[in-house]
Structure 1
Amino acid sequence: MHKMTKARRADGKATRKRILQTAGELIAVNGFAGTPNKMVAAKAGADMASINYHFGNRNGLYQAVLVEAHRRIIDRADIERIASSKLPARDKLRTLIEFFVASGSGSDRWPVIVLFRELLAPGPHIEVLRDVEVVPKLLLVLPILGEITSLPPDDPALWSCLPCVGAPCLALLLVGRHLPFSEIMLDLSREELVEHLHTFAVGGLEAVGDRYRQKLIKRAETGPDYSALD
């Protein structure tokens, strides 16, 4: 009886994984609106009852695809491991960039395409992606950027650094090897590409940090501003 239960669980996990993979591939091509559950079930070799069992409904399946897509690019466990390591902040950032570059070199491109489709025309499902994957990961990355810039965690300028660091990496994932300039850019080795993106990111972060320190020095020289109290 115990062996039968384990076999059923394994089969259920395999079915869920197959449905999720198939849905991601189809949504990347057709978009969410053009990918009904019947299409997913037919290609995945599953029935509608399996989709409803594992994902609840069509919206639940799409939300699971978004979450899985984000995990495929970089998993939260990987970020936690990097963030908690004893590496210097700059080396932590380099390791994060290495994960992005490695994701871009893979043959399975549907996670990137699905995410960009949602980001270009966001709907209510993006809230699940934000709450489950994006925000928790950003909160782990933020202290790394704070260490490089010396900005306090509540400074809006530090939060502004997050998209500035991540956008070039995400753009690279989307471009892949399918646009003219990528033939030049991606002619670099993986190590060279990581070094390029890391240098670009650290340069910007250090500039932000320098500006922050200059403001502190200026404030110390001029003293507090009481004009707002008059």
Structure 2
Amino acid sequence: MRNTSRSPRTDGEATRTRILEAAGELFAAQGFAETTSKAIAAQAGVDLASINYHFGSRSGLYQAVLTEAHRRLVDVADLQRLARSPAPAADKLSALIDRMVRNALSGPEKWHISVLTAELLAPSSHIQALFQSEIPLKASLVAAILSEITGIPEDEPALQRCLLSVIAPCLLLQIGRRGIPGPVQTMLQMPGAVLVEHLSRFAMAGLEAVSRDYAGSISRRREPGGHDAS
């Protein structure tokens, strides 16, 4: 009885995973516009109805692929463990940068990197799926680490700018994998440990400078005649 009740769900999960992997590979190789549901079904070894059953439509499948791709790039559970660990905040930031650099340097480009890079270079309306599912929680976890380093509250615009400044170079490495010429190619040739050290030191220097400016601005506001003075 127990095996019978669990088998359909297990089979369904396996089918969904097979479709997702096939779609990810095809979207990475051909792009969303050029990839048909028929081609995905053929590669996954399923019928067209299975795509609609599990994902609603080809657009729904693409959004699921984007979500899975972002999860493989940075997993929420990994970020939660990192943000909540007792390690110094600077070490947490270095570990995060290390994870993203290793993704960028990890041999032949994996489909999740290709799909995300293509979407970043030419964003479609489907990218909203990431802002609804993956990005908000992950951004808040990274912001918590940066807040710990800088002393700036997580909801302050200054910290949001820091978040973008820290993550942007790592995203640029992903985009550089597509062969875009320029300094990023030189960076991609660097040993991973050296690149992580460089990005971490650069990020920390910027965060420390912003932290000093923020602390100074708060102090000035509290002085007599300052904006926050009573």
Per the TM superposition, whether the score is higher than 0.5 is: yes
Deviation at 1:134, TM superposition (A): 0.4
Which consecutive residues of structure 1, in runs of 5 or more, have no partner in the other structure?
none
Deviations 1:51-70 (A, max 9, x none): 12211211110110010010
Matching of residue 26 in structure 1 with residue 1 in structure 2: no
Structure 1's 115 and 183: CA in aligned 2 closer, same or farther, altered over 3 A?
A: closer
Deviation at 1:199, TM superposition (A): 0.9
The correspondence for 1:204, drawn from 203, 206, 221, is 206
Deviation at 1:99, TM superposition (A): 1.4
The more displaced of 56-65 and 118-127 is 118-127
State the one-letter code of the partner of 2:100. Answer: F
Whole-angstrom distance in 1 between the partners of 2:160 and 2:135: 13
Deviation at 1:108, TM superposition (A): 4.4
Query: Share of identical aligned residues, percent?
Result: 50
Whole-angstrom distance in 2 between the partners of 1:155 and 1:139: 12
Structure 1's 113 and 222: CA in aligned 2 closer, same or farther, altered over 3 A?
A: farther
State the one-letter code of the partner of 2:124. Answer: G
Query: In 2, are the aligned partners of 1:69 and 1:112 still within 8 Å (CA)?
Result: yes
Deviations 1:157-199 (A, max 9, x none): 1111111111111111222384565564234332222111111
Q: Secondary structure at the match of 2:19?
A: helix
Q: What residue number does 2:154 align with?
A: 153
Query: In 2, are the aligned partners of 1:70 and 1:115 still within 8 Å (CA)?
Result: yes
Q: What residue number does 1:102 align with?
A: 102
Whole-angstrom distance in 1 between the partners of 2:98 and 2:58: 34
Matching of residue 163 in structure 1 with residue 164 in structure 2: yes
Whole-angstrom distance in 2 between the partners of 1:55 and 1:108: 26
Matching of residue 216 in structure 1 with residue 205 in structure 2: no
State the one-letter code of the partner of 1:126. Answer: I
Deviation at 1:21, TM superposition (A): 1.5
State the one-letter code of the partner of 2:144. Answer: P
Matching of residue 80 in structure 1 with residue 84 in structure 2: no
Query: In 1, are the aligned partners of 2:220 and 2:226 still within 8 Å (CA)?
Result: no
Structure 1's 57 and 179: CA in aligned 2 closer, same or farther, altered over 3 A?
A: closer
Whole-angstrom distance in 2 between the partners of 1:110 and 1:192: 26
Deviation at 1:214, TM superposition (A): 2.2
Whole-angstrom distance in 2 between the partners of 1:194 and 1:143: 20
Query: In 1, are the aligned partners of 2:117 and 2:174 still within 8 Å (CA)?
Result: no
Deviation at 1:221, TM superposition (A): 4.2
Structure 1's 101 and 225: CA in aligned 2 closer, same or farther, altered over 3 A?
A: closer
Deviation at 1:209, TM superposition (A): 0.9
Q: What residue number does 1:68 align with?
A: 68
The CA RMSD measured in Å over matched residues stands at: 2.2
Deviation at 1:208, TM superposition (A): 1.0
Q: What residue number does 1:54 align with?
A: 54
Q: What residue number does 1:191 align with?
A: 193
State the one-letter code of the partner of 2:111. Answer: W
Query: In 2, are the aligned partners of 1:72 and 1:103 still within 8 Å (CA)?
Result: no
Whole-angstrom distance in 2 between the partners of 1:160 and 1:184: 26
Whole-angstrom distance in 1 between the partners of 2:179 and 2:57: 34
State the one-letter code of the partner of 1:35. Answer: T
State the one-letter code of the partner of 2:50. Answer: S
Q: What residue number does 2:135 align with?
A: 134
Q: Secondary structure at the match of 1:125?
A: helix
Moved over 6 A (4+): none
State the one-letter code of the partner of 2:206. Answer: G
Query: In 2, are the aligned partners of 1:94 and 1:194 still within 8 Å (CA)?
Result: yes
Query: In 2, are the aligned partners of 1:73 and 1:111 still within 8 Å (CA)?
Result: yes
